[in-house]
Homo-oligomer: A and B are copies of this chain.
Amino acid sequence: MDYHELLKSLAEPGEGKIVLLVSDGIGGLPLQPGGLTELETAKTPNLDALAKIGVQGLSTPILPGITPGSGPGHLGLFGYDPLKFIIGRGALEAAGIGFAMSDKDVAIRCNFCTTDAAGNITDRRAGRIPSDESAAVVQKLKAIKIPGVEIFVEPVKEHRFVVVFRGEGLGDAVADTDPQRTGVPVLKPVPHEGCAASKKTADIAGEFHAQAVKILANEPKANNHTMRGFAKKPHMPSYEDLYGLKAACIAVYPMYKGLASFAGMTLAGEPKTLTEEIDVLEKEWKNYDFFFVHWKYTDSRGEDGDFDAKVKMIEELDAVIPRIAKLNPACLIVTGDHSTPAKMASHSFHPVPTLFVSDLARTDEQEHYGEKYAVYGGLGQFQAQYIMSLALAHAGRLGKFGA
């Protein structure tokens, strides 16, 4: 019996609500050995108050030493084994712009590129043309029609856009058409040998590219494009199916909304700020069992390498904690999908301080929320995937295993 089968067999209906508050990339590093991390530096009286009545530990997103992207990082938090449930890059890119994929879709990450008169690539990113210019060119590609398939073309950022083919029997085992170097032509889309469904997709992709180069012929920079990461919608059991939870996602950024929608969460509201996210949480409180609330900027400022700015973003999060606590969730979890130390200006492999607050928590002796406190926390060190079983248990939503 695996983890999901186990949880599915034990999940019980209940009244207890769960809030999974994800401060993206909240874990960090001290700038100097022995110093304080961003979280330890931040003044967080409200999170510390929760630490006193809760229990904390360190969650490992994937495996020790492994740095997760946003996709696997969130899948782990949502209780999916991130090494088993892989979201293809095309599907992740579609999720990232909030495109709602269906089971008939194959999504592809495309890059505009520049080719010379001989058809050889001179710039793999079409000079990173500005997003507004790029979006105007994408608009022209919407004219492409191929019989038997519905086509969506959506801008992303700069030279990047997404193409989705929607049709019957489309496979996604198609190789990238980006040769990864200049001086050579864009590759033909080649299906994985012996896969008829992917041959169909490759044929459609070839036809799409043929029509696109005609439309793009007079563009100064974006006169060609490559295709990468052909991917169908991931097959993931839903929160409702696995845990019996009616789940809502409260997030600002499309990527996280997309990831949550793969898990079957409903996208609640259209918040633009953290304050608006908490507004949505309060407004929707009665309508869901589970709330995934996503705070982006701890990651963003970590990625910027700006220690002080990340500290401020943690303090902004702390300021809204009383509003969440006032709703009195049966289980509130404060965590991150990974660490993003300003010192590294990137995601990192370091485990994530994770705090549980619940009437059923076996409280520990920690009086602050932070990496060095979590080391001595009652939850010890554990895989992020188990946050979901712990959440269900702390909310009184899991029955006993065996007699």
Chain A positions near chain B (C-beta within 8 angstroms)? 1-3, 6, 10, 29-30, 33-35, 37, 52-54, 58, 62-73, 82-84, 86-87, 89, 92-93, 344, 346-350, 360-365, 371-372, 375-378, 380-382, 386, 388-394, 398-403
Contact = CB atoms under 8 A, between A and B. Distances in A.
Contacts of A389: 63-66
A360 B29 contact: yes
A376 B378 CA distance: 9
A54 B58 CA distance: 18
Nearest to A1: B83
A93 B380 CA distance: 36
A350 to B, nearest CB: 5
A10 B29 CA distance: 22
State the 3 A-B residue pairs at the shortest beta-carbon distance, nearest first. A65-B389, A380-B381, A69-B402
B393 A33 contact: no
B398 A10 contact: no
Contacts of A398: 65-67, 349
Contacts of A1: 83-84, 86
Given A52-B33, A68-B400, A362-B371, A63 B3 contact: yes
Given A362-B371, A380-B381, A400 B83 contact: no
Most chain B beta-carbon contacts within 10 A, residue among A1, A372, A401 = A401
A66 B6 contact: yes
The secondary structure that dominates the A interface is loop
Contact of A402 (B86, B93, B362, B372): B86
A364 B65 CA distance: 17
B381 A64 contact: no
Contact of A53 (B34, B394, B401, B402): B34
Contacts of A347: 400
Given A53-B33, A58-B380, A363-B30, A63 B400 contact: no
Contacts of A89: 403
A69 B403 contact: yes
A160 to B, nearest CB: 12
Nearest to A71: B402
25 contacts: A1-B83, A1-B84, A1-B86, A2-B83, A6-B63, A6-B66, A29-B360, A30-B363, A33-B52, A35-B363, A63-B386, A64-B393, A65-B389, A65-B392, A65-B394, A67-B401, A68-B400, A69-B403, A71-B403, A92-B402, A347-B400, A364-B372, A375-B380, A376-B376, A380-B381
Which of A3, A37, A89, A393 gathers the greatest number of chain B CB atoms within 10 Å? A393
A165 to B, nearest CB: 21
A37 B402 contact: no
